[in-house]
Amino acid sequence: MTDLHEQRGLLARACRVAAARGLVDGILGHLSMRVDDERLLIRCRSDTDSGVAFTQPSDIRLIRFDGTEAAAGELDGYRVPNELAIHVETLLAQPHQRAVAHLHPAAVVAADLAGITLRPIYGAYDIAGARLARDGVPVYERAVLIRNPLLGKEMVAAMRGQPIVICRGHGITSAATSVQQAVLQAISLDALAKMSLRVRAAGGSLHDIDDRDWDDLPDLGPGFNVDAAWRYEVARIE
C-alpha cells in the first residue's frame, strides 16, 4: 500500500468524521493534506458527488498548489474546490502545518453572528478546547467565498498564525500538523460554541475560568488528545 493511498484513505475518513459531527452539511466543506512543498491532496467534487458524509478515497485528488493536476488523470471527472485558496494560502503561510480543514459548523457561525466571543468558559470539560480559546479565537470578518489568493491571504492575515479562524457568516478554517488534529480542533471549537449558546439561552453570562485553574489543566499529550480521541471518532462512523 503506497503512502498516497493511505493518505487518501485517511483524508476521506476525516471528511466523514467531520460530517458525522455536523461540522459540514451536504456538499459544502473540504479538507486537504500537504504532500510536499508543491503538492497537496484535497477533497474534490465530481458530477456524481453525494456529499462530504459519503467521501471515498477516490474523491481525494493529488494537485499542485496552483490547482493543476499533479499526476496524469488526477482531475479526470473532478474539480478542485472553489475555495482552494483557503488551503494553499494557509499552508504557504504556516509551513509547519500539514493539514487544513475548511468546515461550516452552524453553532460557531451562530455564536459569532450573535456577538459571542468564544472564550475558555470551561476547563476540565474539554481541556484541549479551553486551551484553543485561551488566547482568543480570531475572526475573519468578511462573509465571502474565498475563491482567489487575495482573499485567501486576507483570511490568513486574520488568522494571526493561530491554528483556527472563524470566517464570519461562513464557517471556520482549522490548520494542524495532522488531518486528525485539524478536525479535532474543529470539534472542540464547535463544542465550545454550543455550550456558549446554551449558557446564554439559559439566561447566564459567559466568564473565563479563573486564571489559577490553568495550572491544574495540564496538556494531556497527543496520545490522549489526538490518538485516543481520533479512535473514538472513527469508531463512531465505522
Per-residue cell: 46: 465530481
Residue 136 to residues 21, 60, 140: CA-CA distances in angstroms? Answer: 23, 33, 13
Q: Which residue has the cell 452539511?
A: 25
Give the chain's domain count.
Answer: 1
HEC per residue, 215-238: HHCCCCCHHHHHHHHHHHHHHHHC
Asked whether the whole model's pTM tops 0.85, one would answer yes
Alpha-carbon distance of 34 to 87, in angstroms, equals 9
State the residue range of the domain holding 169: 4-236
Closest among 28, 19, 217 to 134, alpha carbons compared:
217
- The CATH number covering residue 54 comes to 3.40.225.10
Per-residue cell: 230: 481520533
Q: Is 89 a catalytic residue?
A: no
pLDDT number for residue 2: 61
pLDDT tens for the 238 residues of the chain, in order:
369 999 999 999 999 999 999 999 999 999 999 999 999 999 999 999 999 999 999 999 999 999 999 999 999 999 999 999 999 999 999 999 999 999 999 999 999 999 999 999 999 999 999 999 999 999 999 999 999 999 999 999 999 999 999 999 999 999 999 999 999 999 999 999 999 999 999 999 999 999 999 999 999 888 888 999 999 999 999 8
Catalytic residue among 83, 89, 154, 233: 83
Per-residue cell: 105: 459548523
Closest among 110, 114, 115, 102 to 172, alpha carbons compared:
102
Please report the DSSP string for 7-58 in residue order.
HHHHHHHHHHHHHHTTS--TT--EEEEE-SSSEEEEE-EETT---GGG--GG
